[in-house]
Amino acid sequence: MAPRKRKNDERLRLAEPELSDENEVRFKHGIDLFNKGRYWHAHDAWEEIWRELGDASEDDWEILLRGLIQIAAGLHCLAEGKEDGARGHLKKGVSKLRLRNDPFLGLDFGKMISKIERHSQCPACLMGLVLERTTVTHVT
């Protein structure tokens, strides 16, 4: 069962999670797929992690993972020529990623948000957006 969906205005505990070995592989695989332009597959890889999360406060970071999933869905919509759908997914994804100002699981959300906002009038310019993971997380 999927976790309870957190709301952006909730008081959330957005602590960096310790990913299991399996989820670390899934997360990295999602980044690799994203960077190859296989946005829907990246979405699926991350959703596997998201579905395992629960309702406890240590799972509040699901909202950030959901933001990444929505960004991937938005870029997939762009690839399919669905610009209105893309704009909606990108906007929802950015609103979630804004909840964390510092790097999270090695990703610089601020850099990603900035690029998405710079291209708000030209979403197609976002095709080829690359996620750079700068840190290695501890796994259990």
Residue 81 lies in domain = 21-126
Please check the confidence at residue 87 and state whether its pLDDT lies above 60: yes
pLDDT at 8: 85
Helix (H, G, I), strand (E, B) or coil at 19: strand
Q: What is the pTM of this model?
A: 0.91
For the chain, how many structural domains are there in total?
A: 1
* Residue 139 within a domain: no
Task: Report whether 33 contacts 45 (CB < 8 A).
Answer: yes
Query: Does the structure show a pLDDT above 70 at 136?
Result: no
Residue 95 sits in a domain of what CATH number? 1.10.3450.10
26-83 pLDDT per residue, tens: 999 999 999 999 999 999 999 999 999 999 999 999 999 999 999 999 999 999 999 9
Question: Is 107 among the domain residues?
Answer: yes
Whole-angstrom distance, CA of residue 7 vs CA of residue 43: 20
pLDDT > 70 in the chain, percent = 95
Q: Hey, what are 77's tokens?
A: 């919509």
